[in-house]
Amino acid sequence: MAKVILTPTQTPTLFLEAENITPDVLAGKNAAEIAALHGFVGKTTVTLGDYFTVEGAGGQTAADTTVVINGDVSRVKYIGMKMSAGELIVNGNADMYVGGWMTGGKITVNGDIDAFAGLGMTGGELIVNGNAGNYLGAAYRGDWRGMQGGEIRVSGSAGSDVGTFMRGGTIVVGGNIDVHVGTHMEGGTIIVKGDAKTRVGGQMVKGTIYVYGDIDVMMPGFQYRNDVDLEVDGDNGHFALYEGDMGERHSKKKGVVIYGQLYMKY
Amino acid sequence: MTDYLIKNGFVFDPVQGINGDKVDVAIKDGKIVDAGDVTNPTVIDATGMTVMAAGVDIHAHVAGPKVNMGRNFRPEDKLFNCTAGSGIKRMEGGFSVPTVLRTAYLYARMGFGFSMEAAMPPLYARHTHEEIRDTPIIDQGALPVFGNNWFVLEYLKEDEIENTAAYIAWLLNQTKGFGIKCVNPGGTESWGWGLNCEKVDDVVPYFDVTPRQIVSGLIKANEYLGLPHCTHIHGNSLGEPGNYGITLDTLKIAEGIKPQNDFGREVVLHNTHLQFHCYGGESYASKSFESKSKEVVNYINSVDNISYDLGVVTLDETTTMTADGPFEHHLSHMNNLKWANTDVELETGSGIVPFIYNPKTFIAGAQWAIGLECGLFIKDPMRAYVTTDAPNAGPLCRYPRVYKWLMSAKARDDVLDNTLKYGDRIRERCYIGELDREISLYELAMMTRAGPAKTLGLSHMFGSLKPGLEGDVAVYPYNPETDTDDPEKIEYAFGNAAYLIKGGKLIVKEGEIVDMGNKRTFWVNAKVNENPMVERDIAEKFRRYYTVTQNNYTVKGPHFVPNPYVIEVDSTK
Ligand SMILES: [Zn+2]
């Protein structure tokens, strides 16, 4: 597998928008060609070479290209946007939109990421060995198509509005999560291994949320159904099942109404 | 001003009977002149290309409060759909609800010179005009909506045509409007009561008037005033299975009414987006739903005083927006996407819902077929105009794709066989399968410029290359002799005009936009006899009901309409 190593040489004064940093774009290019790829800082067009040293080269296709960013890119946005295959490793913190609209491949961030990661993603893996910001796996502003497939794993905590308009795929948060989880959710699974605050599953139509810890205030639109023993993400536990949001529309399957499901671990 | 001579192109001008002949087109001082009347012109070599008068759009939603609400509540419409400025162009963005700049650039690239904004809520006319002002290049007008207006409902309950006409004249002047638009007559007002008008004889609550009375009265008032355009109607029960009977009932209201105007207009009723009004069956299911386009267009073919536009569904994700409030509410419950709604005090209402015409569903495919059928059954293409009711049935940028479908049976078959999931079922339930007609370039010129110009009462300015008309000419990179092999060439050419001259200014040069033109806003100043009663009613309504005073209502001054083009009519004689 061909490897491209990007090492940050300076921190952008504003923010660098670098949607070209994906295995898809870097495939088939040598170091000089990669350095010449454009990015944006504000309204000015810059090159990746202005902000990174580039070593190595892309493989023939995205699938045989690994991109490694060695250093802090907490002022670089859109890393791995729309990637479809291959691997991307960030050894440092990254800014917003990591893996936005990704369809395949694997991104590993060994650090923290900011908001809108995995936005509208339809496939692939996004692994965050650190904390995630707001709107993880959510939909773009105004859109009703949040995360639809693939998997997001955050070892630390996550911000607010995780999985808004989520329709498929899985989000696992190892730590705590802020307000508004799975708002308007219509499919997929969110697992929160720590505590949640308020507004979990508001206007949820379908899908499943597991919370291992506490929920500060339960949404009034959820009703307790029964207790159940489950294996979730390799952990065994005793859960209380709630269904909702009762204020939202719900489809029927074979005459049975399908609700959103919220499992709370005892 | 530079003179132009467009040489060696294949010219299509149905008004002059020019059908693909190689005729030189000359422009002097902003007007078309005989080729011999220009001296030292800038020569445009149109060898191997198609030359037509600039396009005229009779119905699109491109400016005003609901368009802007569509932009505001659909940021995702601009996602990955923006182009940075270059040269003289500023940044443009948006797919189904483009920015005003993209709207202007799109029209220019499609070779258009005039667009009619199809629904202006009078109370928000100021906003509409501000957007029109900020849309460069093209000339525009706007149709205020009248079909649910309290004055109109009250006067037409008693069939008071003169009072209705006086009020219309006042409102056109106040809003700098061009003509009469009527959306879901009576239905939007009923919606304020949680009801709708589904048939032409349903009664509007409180006002005790019917859609039939509203439509009939507006047509009569229109002809009383002698307005350039006719009454422009979006009838009741838009989009409802089985609505074709209501459409026929609406059309028949015009029976026997003769056009009265000095503009050469021959029709008294324009039925907009006919596609949405030609449905048979009882539900959207493929075993019930069917096309009734043939029945409706056959009726229109049998009379001579009705025109229509198609409203072709383009199988895209788009944004629906209409003054038909109850319809949008209904739609939002069908697709469960976001919905915006407003009531415009005393006048109208509006709703907005994003919509995906998914080619994998039967109904979207059937709607696509019906829109094209409406264009293919017409006997006189001077009375059927290409639109997508932009953005309701499809985005503005899809016009060239619609031309391709109308002009190529092969392109239609390709959609039926490869794009649609239920192509065969749609062939059974609609007429598309039995239609092998291919619209010619000559007919296309009727359906996109000569016809709409005539029905708008603007044939003395637009729609033809006759000497004396505005110097509005489009040159398309389409060779009618050699480019007939591949329908994709139609779509490309009509979306990428090689040249556009508008009002004698070169706007598009070798495919690039190079000038922002001299945009004008067209409105109609209708003179009527003094009418103290209507004047008193207006003062009374402002005093009692409107949240604004008349001073904050009137569209006035150069701020709102910096470049007016006023058409005068006089009914006092
Ligand atoms: Zn319309």
How far does B83 lie from chain A, in Å, by closest CA? Answer: 13
| Cα–ligand 1 centroid distance for A27 (angstroms) | 47
| Cα–ligand 1 centroid distance for B180 (angstroms) | 13
- Residues 54-73 of chain A whose Cβ lies under 8 A from any Cβ of chain B: none
Number of domains in chain B: 1
The answer on pLDDT for B521 being more than 80 is: yes
Which chain A positions have a beta carbon within 8 Å of B73's beta carbon? 142
pLDDT the model gives residue B450: 98
The 8-class DSSP code of residue A50 comes to G
Which chain A positions have a beta carbon within 8 Å of B79's beta carbon? 140, 143
Partner A contacted by B336 (CB < 8 A): yes
Length, in residues, of chain A: 266
- Is B570 among the domain residues? no
- Is B337 among the domain residues? yes
> Cα angle at B448 between B447 and B453, to 5 degrees?
95
Separation of alpha carbons B256 and B245, rounded Å = 19
Strand partners, A191: A172, A210
Which chain A positions have a beta carbon within 8 Å of B76's beta carbon? 139-143
Instruction: Report which of B471, B453, B464 is spatially closest to residue B33, judged by C-alpha positions.
Output: B471
- Put simply, the answer to whether B73 touches A142 (Cβ < 8 Å) is yes
B183 close to B211: Cβ distance less than 8 angstroms: no
For B338-348, what is each residue's pLDDT tens digit?
999 988 998 98
Whole-number mean pLDDT of chain B?
96
Domain edges within chain A = 115-265
Query: Which of A40, A78, A144 has the most B C-beta neighbours within 10 Å, making it the best mutation to test the interface with B?
Result: A144
- Put simply, the answer to whether B74 touches A142 (Cβ < 8 Å) is yes
| Cα–ligand 1 centroid distance for B233 (angstroms) | 9
The answer on pLDDT for B371 being more than 80 is: yes
pTM, two decimals, is: 0.95
| Cα–ligand 1 centroid distance for B60 (angstroms) | 6
B73 close to B499: Cβ distance less than 8 angstroms: no
Which chain B positions have a beta carbon within 8 Å of A142's beta carbon? 73-77, 338
For A30-51, what is each residue's pLDDT tens digit?
999 999 999 999 989 999 999 9
At B265 the three-state DSSP class reads coil
At B536 the three-state DSSP class reads helix
ipTM, interface predicted TM-score of the complex: 0.90
At B385 the three-state DSSP class reads strand
Proportion of chain B above pLDDT 90, given as a percent: 95
pLDDT the model gives residue B324: 87
Q: What is the 3-state secondary structure (H, E, C) of B225-249?
A: HCCCCCEEEECCCCCCCCCHHHHHH
For B442-471, what is each residue's pLDDT tens digit?
999 999 999 999 999 999 999 999 999 999
Cα dihedral A22, A27, A31, A36 sign: negative
For A144, the closest chain B residue by CA position comes to B337
Residue B192: pLDDT band with limits 50, 70, 90: confident
- Put simply, the answer to whether B338 touches A143 (Cβ < 8 Å) is no
- Is B144 among the domain residues? yes
- Is B507 among the domain residues? no
- Put simply, the answer to whether B76 touches A249 (Cβ < 8 Å) is no
pLDDT the model gives residue B305: 98
In angstroms and rounded to an integer, the radius of gyration of the C-alpha atoms of chain B is: 22
> Cα angle at B539 between B535 and B541, to 5 degrees?
115
For A153-212, what is each residue's pLDDT tens digit?
999 999 999 999 999 999 999 999 999 999 999 999 999 999 999 999 999 999 999 999
Q: How many residue pairs from chains A and B have C-beta atoms closer than 8 A?
A: 18
Partner A contacted by B334 (CB < 8 A): no
How much is the average pLDDT of B297-314? 98
For B144-183, what is each residue's pLDDT tens digit?
999 999 999 999 999 999 999 999 999 999 999 999 999 9
- Put simply, the answer to whether B75 touches A140 (Cβ < 8 Å) is yes
In angstroms and rounded to an integer, the radius of gyration of the C-alpha atoms of chain A is: 20
Partner A contacted by B74 (CB < 8 A): yes
Neighbouring CB atoms inside 10 A of A214's CB total: 12
- Is B551 among the domain residues? no
- Is B559 among the domain residues? no
pLDDT the model gives residue B32: 98
The answer on pLDDT for A52 being more than 80 is: yes
- Put simply, the answer to whether B79 touches A144 (Cβ < 8 Å) is no
Exposure b/e, B83-117, CB count within 10 A at least 16 = b: eeeeeebeebbbbbbbbbbbbbbbbbbbbbbbbbb
The overall longest dimension of chain A from CA atoms, in Å, is 62
Domain extent at residue B393 = 54-455
- Is B318 among the domain residues? yes
- Burial class of residue B321, CB neighbours in 10 A (0-12, 13-18, 19+): buried
Query: Which of A45, A97, A101, A143 has the most B C-beta neighbours within 10 Å, making it the best mutation to test the interface with B?
Result: A143
A4 close to A26: Cβ distance less than 8 angstroms: yes
At A148 the three-state DSSP class reads coil
The CATH number linked to B108 is: 3.20.20
> Cα angle at A192 between A208 and A181, to 5 degrees?
65
The answer on pLDDT for B573 being more than 80 is: no
List, in order, residues 6 or more apart from B220 with CB less than 8 Å away. Answer: B161, B164, B257
Residue B553: pLDDT band with limits 50, 70, 90: very high
Structure tokens at B461: 């300015």
- Is B35 among the domain residues? no
The answer on pLDDT for A1 being more than 90 is: no
Partner A contacted by B76 (CB < 8 A): yes
Instruction: Report which of B479, B504, B465 is spatially closest to residue B18, judged by C-alpha positions.
Output: B465
Residue B326: pLDDT band with limits 50, 70, 90: confident
| Cα–ligand 1 centroid distance for A149 (angstroms) | 37
For A211-250, what is each residue's pLDDT tens digit?
999 999 999 999 999 999 999 999 999 999 999 999 999 9
